[in-house]
Amino acid sequence: MNSKAVFHGIHRYGELWCGAILPASELPDMTRGAKRKEKTKPSEGTSIRATISFPANIYQTLEDIAHQKKVSLAWVVRDASEQYIAGKWPLFKGKV
């Protein structure tokens, strides 16, 4: 009898998750994950969407600033990012 273990993945602590030991004839067809699209370089004037997680207190502060200025949260984050880059790397000031 030819048996193989079916591994479902690696647990976040590095342990293998194993469902069962099945005969080779009963193993399910294994497929690879979806292929990711190759990232293209953005052209001048385009925007790229990003998902960012903030601690709750920082998020609330950003929301408050946006409300006070009557702008979107995205505008506040973009403005802060531009100011950070201009202050940190002044040579990139014209690029931002």
| Distance in angstroms (rounded) separating the CA atoms of residues 71 and 4 | 59
Asked if residue 23 belongs to a domain, the reply is: no
- DSSP assignment string, 42-90: PPTT----------HHHHHHHHHHHHHHTS-HHHHHHHHHHHHHHHH-G
| pLDDT score recorded for residue 65 | 97
Q: What is the mean pLDDT of the chain?
A: 77
Three-state SS at 25: helix
- pLDDT of 76 over the 80 cut: yes
- Is residue 73 included in any domain, yes or no? yes
Q: Is 32 left (phi over 0), alpha (psi -120 to 50) or beta?
A: beta
Reported as a single tens digit per residue, the pLDDT across 28-59 is: 666 666 777 777 777 777 888 899 999 999 99
Look at residue 63 and tell me if it is in a domain. Answer: yes
* pLDDT per residue as tens digits for the range 17-33: 555 566 666 666 666 66
| Residue 29, in any domain of the structure | no
Residues in Cβ contact with 83 at an 8 Å cutoff, skipping those fewer than 6 apart: none
Residue, of 62 and 6, whose pLDDT is higher: 62
> Quick check: 5 and 18 in contact, CB under 8 A?
yes
Total domains, the chain: 1
Query: Which structural domain, as residue segments, surrounds residue 88?
Result: 56-95
Burial of 6 (0-12, 13-18, 19+ CB in 10 A): middle
